[in-house]
Structure 1
């Protein structure tokens, strides 16, 4: 038995080596990050089926049976991909074993399929990567099941019993340990991904904090030079360049010959149409120059590119992800710069509407939340940063314009996502929106200020938070909107002051502005505030149905505010 244990361990080392090599593959990293395509799943099934089959072939023939490590492939496939993947891989490896024959063929085929399913069931209840101790226990359960099935199905029973006495303990120990080792390798990959994502997020945030004052002045040779130098120092690149559509505005680390060779190419422009980065590797004599080019946009119009270069080595995944993140943030800042330079900002009301959306306190708190997420939830930090970017972009882009009800709800969802990341379970949201009104048009920021008011001044002051209910119902001639919270509420005196614009502080500006906006567009509109101190507030109003997406920008005498 000891000799068998040693031989099994030696032969399993071949599978262990394959596992280590596999852990370095990009598709494998996608799998453990739960970011897979059908192609990745097909590759996963194929590879782990082969691991199961290899486990059979490197096994040790004993009395008409095979002591093997076949279970490792199906079990790991289940632990990674879930019940369906585990079942398929288990069936393939098990059916292959059945075709080989022998008096244990049927028992081994059934047990291999079952072990893949067991791994998948465990994965279903452990949403994150399965701990190696759980994997070890799963291996023991699976291999014990195999021994039971051999005794129950294989005949003659005496031969089956004799076989289990010889291979039982060695296979249970070696294969369970192998499965645990495999999961430890996976955990190391997961830790590596977390480290890389944390570093990427930190780099992008550091660069953003340093470049915002300069990008706000627009894209020109002066600002491009400063921004290029900041990026060059932050990511330790061999060269960085920023271009417009015709020339390289500024570069750091490129000589004149390199600059002349790296303007926009047709292939780059084609890639940019789909908002993708472009990676190129070129040789100049004995020198390799590898670059990643990320497009820069202003209101969906391509205006230039950020280029990061590596000399004598290829750009890596970190370079690509950093380029993507920086291009998005620079594009957002270019839009802000463009918005600030538009003539319509000269109109005081629209200027106030625009400025109110860049609430420094909200932005400061959101960025602090992102920074805290980086330490323990890099994926969450990335998603939060993207949502914040989209939230600011949409508020700036839509200021003073008409948008669909669906787009307004999306903007509200982005706001609530950011606030829930900060306050967690203190904020609960219920939405009741009729689907047939989502494509109707309303002024931008018609509902959002009321929701912000309900969150900031309604439920957050309460120790346990509360619930905000957002409704939009299709009536015969109009849409009935309502926002209700079970927060602090207000007395009747304050309610009347808000409607009359006499609140005297920020607590009523948001509601009063929406009230004035509705009245200016819909004469005689229904607008009601129901509130009771300590019991919450409900704001309801009607708005006419507009189907025309070309509704002119409104310019009535009102301003938009984030505050109550």
Structure 2
């Protein structure tokens, strides 16, 4: 078996750890298939390093857990080319890879010292304890893993010899691992923010729509019991979807079904005053979309197109296939609004938007930007006495 730290052992161990196959690649070939110039070697070393880092990154983006540490530690040892590597948190060792089993019992204490100081810690000489006869391990380099200024764990490396180069290398790898954990924390914070936005949207929807829908259903109980029963089933279908357990995404088909139930209930409420059309390209029905992102826009159109008018009003929903995106518009022919009013609604102005759909529009706009980026917010076209049209784009590819 080739020794630790050699270029061939690094690539060989990488393939063995990642796939468990291609065993023929573990041993060095006596003669290279292709002749290579000496200046090709740094490029190959860079590729191997980046490839190993890319293999470890997805696990680390899940956060510092026992499962993620176990998946990443093998790649980290290959990256460093040392005898053993341990990843720990404040509770102790999460994962260990390599030889030097005699140091497993000491790894938690080594990590604790680094966590307490918040600085890299070298264990060598009299401070290094090993009871195994003939053990080649001579020391450890332990570096804290820092997230948002807090030491949340430690990367410990054990080898037969320590050097200033190894200390710098472990420090840089730990900094890279910390960066991946920072991204994991950011992803988690973004997800929590999205869940909070969704809860706020549900809380806004419930007292307004539920009261109006139930009042409408009650009005049909004596005059048209069959219609009341159908509306009650539509209401149950709508609320089961809208108030279901937390989820980030659904399909466009499911979201449109929710919109359809909503419009049927509002049609029962407004009668012939409400006209609506929904036109959808069938190619986009299966694409993933943010959960409950379209109904608030349709609700806003109903309020401004019919609820605020004395005569009839029309709501139009159009979903078009635009290659890598779906282009969606929700339009009403109501009284419209000034550009300043539109900006206040998207900004979530609590003094002017609350109770008039503003919180819902601002919520959807913020969620779209959080998920897809700043270029994917709502675009409002409106003029006084000329109706309102809300445009948005949704990429077909799932963002996570």
TM-score (norm 1): 0.34
More helix by proportion, 1 or 2?
1
TM-score (norm 2): 0.48
